Amino acid sequence: MRKVPRHTRPISLAVVLILVACSAPLAGELEPYLSRVTNGKAATGEQTISHLFVWDETLAAQSRARVMIHRVEGIEWETIRHEIERVSPTCKWEGSAGVLAQAVVDFGDLPAVAELPEIIYVCRPPRPIPCTVESEGLSGMEVPSFASLGYLGQGARVAILDLGFAGHQYLIGTELPEDVHVKSFFRSASGDGDINGDGENHGTACAEIVYDIAPGAEIYLVNAESPVEMNAAIDWIIKENIAVISHSIGWFFGSLDGVGPINDIARKAVESGIVWVNASGNEADRHTWAYAVDADNDDFLEIALDDELLDFTNIAEGDSLEVALLWDEWPLISNLDLAVEFVDSEDRLLATSEDEFGNYPYAFRYLHWKSPDGRPIAIRIRRVRGTTEGQVIHLFRLGNGVVMEEHAKADRSLLVPADSRFVIAVGATNWETDSLEVYSSRGSIRNDPIKPELCAPVGVSTRTYGDEGFHGTSAAAPHVAGAATLLASTGLRGGYHDIFWTRDDIELLLEAHAKPAPYIQPLAWGIVRMPVEMPVAKGAGPLLLGNPTRGSSHWTANCETVEIIDTHGRIVALCSAGAWDGRDMRGRDAPAGIYWVRCSKAGEASRLVWLGR
């Protein structure tokens, strides 16, 4: 046996100590806010500012909190649950989704739960925001003409998945069907929660629009507030054989390019055959993104070229400033850790997300600050640790009616899960003009198609929101969901089977019949529109033969813009009255054949025989 040289022994001992230390279980962490609550140090009313997190006042009054628990990989929840219930005997387990679980825990037990070696983090569950802002949009979508053929959504099931449906009871029989189904996972992953969602009526307005479009469909109102609740809701929706989900909700809980727990839940629904329609978000004018670069190595990232500060000058005394920062590292931070900070004009630190989110395991930071004097401030992003290489950062300003005063970028401004390639994201267009609303989130998703796929009308009337109109992509998504539901109710009648279109079929129809909108960039498919029947005998015969000399076709029309429609009812091109160069919206040569020329939004169409280029 060889003897170990004397001088190597201290090194061996150190290695052993390090190995022992590494193999010892590491305790998880408790979110600072929950720590303060546990110690009775939370400021009165402090929780109300954190609308991005679930906080139940009723539970808080009982010194309990609903929390999200993130476990380490490789251990089953059943095992950990026993440990949690051992250290917190009054804990009420509510469910799990992958590595996340939700439970109601006494304030006093929270530190012990967080210290369990199998736990990574204990925090308030993240909460999505409604993409708020009847519908006059139906006519432009050709819904009345589609419905006149008897297609009202009969037999199709559509779920509106939202935060709350307050007031829906008063609309049953008028704005909502008599037999509306309700199921609530709101603060109850077992499905016996409060359908009113603590007074939130956003879902009710969305349901009104779906019902306007598909009055014959079976409408399901389902609400949930946290990822675990949403996972339970989706499992239930899948079991109910629901064809379409309308989700006018955006989450700040993912990479914004299709990765994260919420995207996984949406993907599960889509892979089970459900058409998932999602509001794209209302963040286009209050968002910016950049590749994470610290060119001068001062630990502050460049938000724009040579600019590390994002200025906010339009501030009044008492104004609240809220920002959310996200970057690519999902589901958990492995390398780069960032902090968002507010500084004054003399570069003095006013607030930093490190206080609340210093060890937050997700690539998300949130900072809220109330201006005491209305003086201009700036935001900067500090690299706490790690390398920035290959990372993309997104900064959102939150709050009603606020915009990013400089460096605003609409591109890549979609919220989760509208950023998923499995989801139909819906942007907002004015119902009267078809123009894109400036706030409508849009843009390309890294390595994925252009978003949103469709736009739909907003500013429409609902009973819930009254005369102000229902604005925001929240109003747009239910229009597309309603259209998808109408299509889902159609199909073929065979001998044994009534065949209904598949999810792929419905998406194909929505894409093929969308009204092209080349003036909206980027936009994948167009503005939502139902298929239109082009009666063969309509119009006054061939308006004009395609140019026999292979030039342009010319005609006269009493409108500025005309639609060229093929015999399947699809709009092939939009052009000014008088000429069509024979190309479709993507610049490809349209095949020779019969087309229809129609003044936009006017009923009568005339036939055009196109001889080809």
Partner 1 sequence: MIIRRNLAILVALLVALPAMANGVDRPNLEAGIGIGYLSPRATDLSNLYDGGPVYQLMVSKSISKPEGAISLEVGYFKSSADLSAPFFASNAVAELEWIPIDLVMRIRSAGRWSLSPHLGLGLQFLWAREHFDYRLAGQNRSQSPEDRFDPGILIVAGADRVSSPRLRLEGFLSVVPTDRRASVDGENYETGSDDTLDAGSFGIRVLWRLP
Q: Does 606 bind partner 1 (CB under 8 A)?
A: no
Show the tokens assigned to 192: 């016996």
Q: Does 537 bind partner 1 (CB under 8 A)?
A: no
Q: Does 179 bind partner 1 (CB under 8 A)?
A: no
Strand extents, DSSP E, 309-452 = 310-312, 320-327, 337-344, 349-352, 364-370, 377-385, 392-398, 424-430, 443-444, 450-451
395 φ/ψ sector (left φ>0, alpha ψ -120 to 50, else beta)? beta
Q: Does 536 bind partner 1 (CB under 8 A)?
A: no
Please check whether residue 577 is in contact with residue 556, taking contact to mean a CB–CB distance below 8 angstroms: yes
Of 414, 422, 533, the closest CA to residue 476 belongs to 414
Please check whether residue 315 is in contact with residue 428, taking contact to mean a CB–CB distance below 8 angstroms: no
Q: Which whole-number Å values give the CA distances from 146 to 139, 153, 512, 530, in the listed order?
A: 10, 11, 16, 7
Instruction: Output the smallest distance, CB 499 to partner 1, in A.
Output: 5
Give the three-state DSSP class for 239. Answer: helix
Dist CA 352 CA 358 (whole Å): 9
Q: Does 151 bind partner 1 (CB under 8 A)?
A: yes
Dist CA 535 CA 430 (whole Å): 29
Dist CA 405 CA 409 (whole Å): 11
Which range binds partner 1 by CB under 8 A, 62-70, 419-427, 468-476, 503-511? 503-511
Q: Does 497 bind partner 1 (CB under 8 A)?
A: yes
* Amino acid sitting at position 334: S
- Residue 346 or 498: the one with the smaller Cβ distance to partner 1 is 498
Site residues (CB under 8 A) for partner 1, limited to 471-490: 490
- Residue 64 or 513: the one with the smaller Cβ distance to partner 1 is 513
* Beta pairing class for 349-352 and 275-279: unpaired
Q: Does 294 bind partner 1 (CB under 8 A)?
A: no
- Residue 16 or 499: the one with the smaller Cβ distance to partner 1 is 499
* Amino acid sitting at position 429: T
Q: Does 289 bind partner 1 (CB under 8 A)?
A: no
Instruction: Output the smallest distance, CB 501 to partner 1, in A.
Output: 7
Q: Does 603 bind partner 1 (CB under 8 A)?
A: no
Dist CA 168 CA 176 (whole Å): 8
Q: Does 515 bind partner 1 (CB under 8 A)?
A: no
Which range binds partner 1 by CB under 8 A, 67-75, 396-404, 445-453, 509-517? 509-517
Instruction: Output the smallest distance, CB 276 to partner 1, in A.
Output: 15
In a 13 Å sphere around the CA of 63, the CA atoms on its Cβ side amount to: 9
Site residues (CB under 8 A) for partner 1, limited to 562-581: 568-570
Residue with tokens 């239930």: 236
Q: Does 387 bind partner 1 (CB under 8 A)?
A: no
Q: Does 501 bind partner 1 (CB under 8 A)?
A: yes
Site residues (CB under 8 A) for partner 1, limited to 205-264: 241, 243
Instruction: Output the smallest distance, CB 310 to partner 1, in A.
Output: 45
Position among 21, 24, 305, 492 found at the interface with partner 1 (CB under 8 A): 492
Position among 89, 401, 495, 548 found at the interface with partner 1 (CB under 8 A): 495
Cα 231 from chain centroid?
Answer: 15
- Residue 368 or 570: the one with the smaller Cβ distance to partner 1 is 570
Angle, in degrees to the nearest 10, between helices 473-488 and 202-213: 40
- Residue 76 or 271: the one with the smaller Cβ distance to partner 1 is 271
* Contact partners, residue 3, CB within 8 Å, separation at least 6: none
Which range binds partner 1 by CB under 8 A, 56-64, 208-216, 399-407, 506-514? 506-514
Window 31-70: contact mask with partner 1 (x via CB under 8 A): ----------------------------------------
Residue 48 CB coordination number (10 Å):
9
- Residue 53 or 500: the one with the smaller Cβ distance to partner 1 is 500
Q: Does 155 bind partner 1 (CB under 8 A)?
A: yes
Where along the sequence are the contacts to partner 1 (CB under 8 A)? 149, 151, 155, 241, 243, 273, 490-505, 508-509, 511-513, 531, 533, 568-570
